[in-house]
Amino acid sequence: MKLIILVSALLAYCHGEPSPTIIPIEGGVQGDGVTTRYWDCCATSCAWDKIIHTKNGQPVQTCQKDGRTPSTKENNSQSGCEVDGVAYSCSNQVARVINSTLAYGFSAASFTGGVDTAQCCMCVLLSFKGQLAGKQLLVQVTNTGSDLGKNQFDLAMPGGGVGIFTLGCSSQWGAPETGWGDRYGGVHTEEECNQLPEDLQEGCKFRFRFMEGVPNPDVSFQQVQCPSELVALTGCGDLD
């Protein structure tokens, strides 16, 4: 048994898969949850500086219409999903693969059911169940939603469906009024991800590659410290 562990550790080492340290937060949120997916292009709710209770006091960074240029402090939360809004989701706040069983990403979440801004910017390690068992997605909570249930993670994945807000992707990218693919659920195949703007295509394909196209897998979850890679993308850190 020890030998098997040693050999598999050695193999992992030889394959050079990165294995970052993940630090659970004692007394943090944990339990079983469900996932859905979305990408509505809007400024996320955690961009509202009024509601941020994080150590560094910063809201989630949003972007101007190009999805790349950071919004200014004055209009960081002025959502492009509202008439006259100018702030959109930054195209780099999408999931990325860390190793063959771990990815980092972003999610809307609710732990109470409904809008739940108290948890903005915390990080949660999601361990998939069922077909994706053995894979994990560590997400930073960047958004919430009136349509979310208790312990629901609405994963931020371009081409995942615009959901209740239809104005964002059409005004930012000229997407169809109900978004790319279905309004709820988005595109159906990896090829359809090529309809999206180039900056969003990799984030769309993540669903078909790392997540193997498995729709809305159940998870168990545990709050963890936010990795610096995610904080670098949002500017927003762990809770107080």
Ligand X SMILES: *[C@@H]1O[C@H](CO)[C@@H](O)[C@H](O)[C@H]1NC(C)=O
Residues between 144 and 173 that touch ligand X (CB under 6 A): none
Residues between 21 and 40 that touch ligand X (CB under 6 A): 22
d(CA 99, CA 174): 34
Q: Does residue number 72 form part of the binding site for ligand X (CB under 6 A)?
A: yes
Nearer to ligand X, 87 or 121 (CB): 87
d(CA 162, CA 178): 7
DSSP string, 194-226: GGS-HHHHHHHHTTTTTTTT--S--EEEEEEPP
Q: Does residue number 220 form part of the binding site for ligand X (CB under 6 A)?
A: no
Size of the site for ligand X (CB under 6 A): 14
Binding-site member from 12, 34, 115, 214 for ligand X (CB under 6 A) = 12
Q: Which residue has the tokens 């944990």?
A: 30
| One-letter amino acid of 160 | G
d(CA 89, CA 171): 12
Q: Does residue number 228 form part of the binding site for ligand X (CB under 6 A)?
A: no
What is the signed CA dihedral for 233, 36, 217, 201, rounded to 10 degrees?
-50
Nearer to ligand X, 72 or 189 (CB): 72
Question: Is 40 designated active site?
Answer: yes
Residue 15 C-beta: closest distance to ligand X, Å: 7
Q: Does residue number 64 form part of the binding site for ligand X (CB under 6 A)?
A: yes
d(CA 7, CA 3): 6
Could you give the string, one character per residue 97-136, with x where binding to ligand X holds by CB under 6 A and - elsewhere?
Answer: --xxxx----------------------------------
| Residue ranges binding ligand X (CB under 6 A) | 12, 17, 19-20, 22, 64, 72, 74-75, 86, 99-102
**Positions marked active-site:** 40
